[in-house]
Amino acid sequence: MAAPEAPAAPAALDEGTYTGIRVPRGEGALSLDGTWHQISPRYVASQFVQNAIIIVLVAVAAVVAGTVLEQSWVWIPAGAFIAIDLVTLAILPRQAKALGYMLRADDVVFRRGILWQRMVAVPYGRMQLVDITQGPLDRTFGLSQLKMVTAAAATGVQIPGLTQGAAEALRDTLIEVAENRRTGL
């Protein structure tokens, strides 16, 4: 019996995405048999806006508590929080380029991380739910988040920063392939 082929990836998966996924250094890199797809660069812009809003809210709260309520201690936690958020924003573009997913013959593989890298393979036949969500900023930037749920909580995968077309095409592909490869629990 011949091994099943990987499902054909819809063209919408690569529209408006990064051009090449960051690969780990070293010779121990895992070789897989599919094509890596990436998220939209608009994800970085939406996260910058979201974090800028949070920084402004924390700064306003610190100013109110520090000046109006005369609580001088609030400058330390507010400054620490803002500094951590700025560091997070500095590494965000590189983290976004490290996000990717691959459709293989029997599963979908998701990878993320720069220092702490995680690669999760979710078998098509074990998927129980494929969900697309959008927050207000996601809608503004035309982005979606796709979530795949399995019976094992540790293998649930969330792919942020997909364009709306890519999220819908991926959802439809995953559902179709999962129905064809359904396995008993």
Beta bridge partners of 145: 133
Q: Is 33 in contact with 105 (CB distance < 8 Å)?
A: yes
CA distance 149 to 128: 6
Q: In the predicted model, what is the mean pLDDT of residues 74-86?
A: 94
CA distance 170 to 185: 24
Q: Is 183 exposed, middle or buried (0-12, 13-18, 19+ CB in 10 A)?
A: exposed
Domain assignment present for residue 64? The answer is: yes
Q: In the predicted model, what is the mean pLDDT of residues 99-106?
A: 88
| Range in 7-11, 49-53, 90-94, 167-171 with the lowest mean pLDDT | 7-11
Domain assignment present for residue 5? The answer is: no
Closest CA to 104 of 184, 8, 1: 8
The whole-number pLDDT of residue 70 equals 83
The amino acid sitting at 71 is Q
**Which pLDDT band, with edges at 50, 70 and 90, does 182 fall under?**
low
Average pLDDT, the chain: 83
Total number of residues shown for the chain: 185
Domain assignment present for residue 126? The answer is: no
Domain limits for position 82: 44-93
Domain assignment present for residue 137? The answer is: no
Quote the strand ranges of 40-156, DSSP E: 100-103, 107-112, 118-123, 127-133, 143-150
Q: In the predicted model, what is the mean pLDDT of residues 59-75?
A: 89
Domain assignment present for residue 76? The answer is: yes
Q: In this predicted model, which residue has the larger pLDDT, 95 or 29?
A: 95
In whole angstroms, how far apart are CA 184 and each of 130, 179, 181?
Answer: 18, 12, 10
**Which pLDDT band, with edges at 50, 70 and 90, does 132 fall under?**
very high
What is the number of domains present in the chain? 1
**Which pLDDT band, with edges at 50, 70 and 90, does 134 fall under?**
very high
**Is residue 18 predicted with pLDDT exceeding 60?**
yes
Percent of the chain residues past pLDDT 90, beyond the cut: 44
First to last CA, the chain: 23
The whole-number pLDDT of residue 31 equals 43
The whole-number pLDDT of residue 79 equals 94
What's the pTM? 0.76
Domain assignment present for residue 80? The answer is: yes
The whole-number pLDDT of residue 123 equals 85
Domain assignment present for residue 66? The answer is: yes
Q: Is 32 in contact with 104 (CB distance < 8 Å)?
A: yes
pLDDT tens track for 145-177: 999 888 776 667 899 999 999 999 889 888 888
- Written as six digits, the tokens of 176 are 């179709």
**Which pLDDT band, with edges at 50, 70 and 90, does 96 fall under?**
very high
